[in-house]
Structure 1
Amino acid sequence: MALLTAPPTPPTPPAVVMPRLSSILRHAVPRVLEAMVMPVATFYAGMIVAGIPGGLAAAVAWVYGGAAWRLWRRTEVPGSVLLAAVMITVRVVLAVVFDDPKWFFLIPTMGVFCASATFLCTVGTRRPMAQRVAADLVPLPEHVERHPLMRRFFVRQSLVWGCAQLVNGAFTLWMLLHETLSTFLLVRTAGVAVLLGGTALASILDFRRTLGALQFRA
């Protein structure tokens, strides 16, 4: 009679380790500077030297130069750089079509709408935009990134940030068309800071909750 043997034990899934805040910051800060801070800084530097056309040229050179450098090295272009490239492209197209100083303020608003569309249109794709941006900012193990809980997190965050940027663009456009420039600069800056700051805080809390659920299931 054949001896009864116990069924093989299924492999234990790798443990989910919460990244340290210092590690997240070291990884995220250079990407935030490259894709969000430096395009604005180069724009204003170029505008001081050569006016609005010079500012646009400087910002385009920075963003597309970074993307071209990665393509030349055959490395992946981060999602944050892709978003910056989309927004810069919209600004340049509108600046060429409309020869009016007011488009200096409207161009970034159109870029915000474009960023919103980028998040929302990738919700149903294999890799939502929130997942690409998260990979730039917070390095995660491949088995964690592909987990169904994380997949739902990335879809949820693409919706959240798409809607937040849509509200940002609509609010900015309404203020620009209905208020004086001084009121626009003051109220819009404060309002957008509250909106995007609150959205970022909610995203961080959702991220920690999702990782906590993964650790519980591991």
Structure 2
Amino acid sequence: MSSIPDTDLAPNQVTSRPAFPPLRSVVARALASLTTAVVAPTVLFAATLMTFDVMAAVTVALAWVVGATGWRWATGRPVSGLLMLTLGIMTIRTGFTLATGNTFVYFVQPVFADAAVAALFLGSLATARPLVARLAPDFYPVDAALAARPKIRRLFRRLTLLWGLVVVVKGSVTLWLLVSLSTVHYVLIQSSTIIALLLTATAATVALSAVVGRQEGMFRPTA
């Protein structure tokens, strides 16, 4: 009688799980994603505006996002959902601004974009897979078994609510500053305020994720 291969007897033993990374690599990946998609284009926009004008600033900011996305594709690196979202929003904003010459619309468009993004986050809470659960694989190797754990599911829902509220605050602050300040002052104050808000929200996200991740044994000890 022929023997049955071990792979047939114990399929679970040959099914590999994602390698759990150390916490610091997850933090570094999140910060790199945020810097590439949000901080860098915002700083470039403000610096170009101070040196040249609004039209040059919108072009430089979009060029950065397009270049960052193209470079990741060309080198075989994954493109994060945050970077793709930024690319889509900035392409529409910049295209409309260059076509019409209406710079006010460029600055007010993020308010409507934030409303749409907030609706996506908060609306996804009514589904079985909130939006953060869809974005999480950009930063951590999440498989179906891990995503199904009760604490992980609660974490995804809490973080989805957190980011939905953060985007609401971001849009509200943007609109208030836009109608209250000159263009140059608006760009400088809005940029620093929004970056601080996003970095704070990112720190809270990492802290909450670290607490739950350690409870679930998701991080490999660092050397």
TM-score (structure 1 length as normaliser): 0.66
Q: How does 1:1-218 map to 2 (within 5 A)?
A: 20-44=22-46, 47=49, 51-71=53-73, 76-96=78-98, 99-123=101-125, 128-136=130-138, 138-140=139-141, 142=143, 145-149=146-150, 150-177=152-179, 179-181=180-182, 192=194, 195-215=197-217
Distance 1:132 1:73, change over 3 A: farther
The one-letter code sitting in structure 1 at the alignment partner of 2:57 is G
Gaps of 5+ in 1: 1-10
Distance 1:81 1:50, change over 3 A: same
SS at match of 1:102: helix
Whole-Å separation in 2 of the counterparts to 1:41 and 1:183: 14
Distance 1:69 1:101, change over 3 A: closer
RMSD of the alignment, in Å?
4.3
Between stretches 107-116 and 78-87, larger displacement belongs to 107-116
TM-fit CA distance, 1:165:
0.6
Give the total of aligned pairs: 207
Distance 1:119 1:97, change over 3 A: farther
Q: Do the aligned residues in 2 keep the contact of 1:176 with 1:184 (CA within 8 Å)?
A: yes
Query: Which structure is higher in RCO with an 8 Å CA cutoff and minimum separation 6?
Result: 2
Whole-Å separation in 1 of the counterparts to 2:43 and 2:107: 16
- Aligned identity (percent) is 24
Q: Do the aligned residues in 2 keep the contact of 1:67 with 1:77 (CA within 8 Å)?
A: yes
Distance 1:18 1:56, change over 3 A: same
Gaps of 5+ in 2: 1-11, 218-223
Whole-Å separation in 1 of the counterparts to 2:181 and 2:132: 35
The one-letter code sitting in structure 1 at the alignment partner of 2:148 is H
